[in-house]
Homo-oligomer: A and B are copies of this chain.
Amino acid sequence: MIQVSIVEDNDAIRNGLAMLINATADMECISTYTDCETCIGDLPDHGPDVILMDIGLPGMSGIEGVREIKKDFPDIHILMLTVYEENDKIFDALCAGATGYLVKKTPAEQLIQAIQDVVHGGSPMSSHIARKVVAFFQKQPPKAMEEHHLSSREMDILTSLANGNSYKLIADDLTISIDTVRFHIRNIYKKLQVNSQTEAISKAFRDGLIK
Contact = CB atoms under 8 A, between A and B. Distances in A.
Interface of A: 91, 94-95, 97-100, 117, 120-125, 127-128, 130-131, 133-134, 137-138, 140-141, 161-164, 166, 194, 196-199, 201-202, 205, 210
A117 B110 CA distance: 14
B117 A122 contact: no
Contacts of A122: 127-128, 130-131
Contacts of A163: 199, 202
B128 A121 contact: yes
A140 B95 contact: yes
B196 A164 contact: yes
Question: What number of copies of this chain does the assembly contain?
Answer: 2
Contact of A95 (B131, B137, B197): B137
A141 B120 CA distance: 26
A95 B130 contact: no
Nearest to A96: B138
Nearest to A95: B137
Contacts of A201: 198, 201-202, 205
Given A127-B121, A128-B122, A164-B194, A138 B202 contact: no
Contacts of A198: 161-162, 164, 197-198, 201
19 contacts: A94-B137, A97-B138, A100-B134, A117-B127, A120-B127, A121-B127, A121-B131, A122-B127, A122-B131, A123-B131, A123-B134, A133-B134, A163-B199, A164-B198, A166-B196, A197-B198, A198-B198, A201-B201, A201-B205
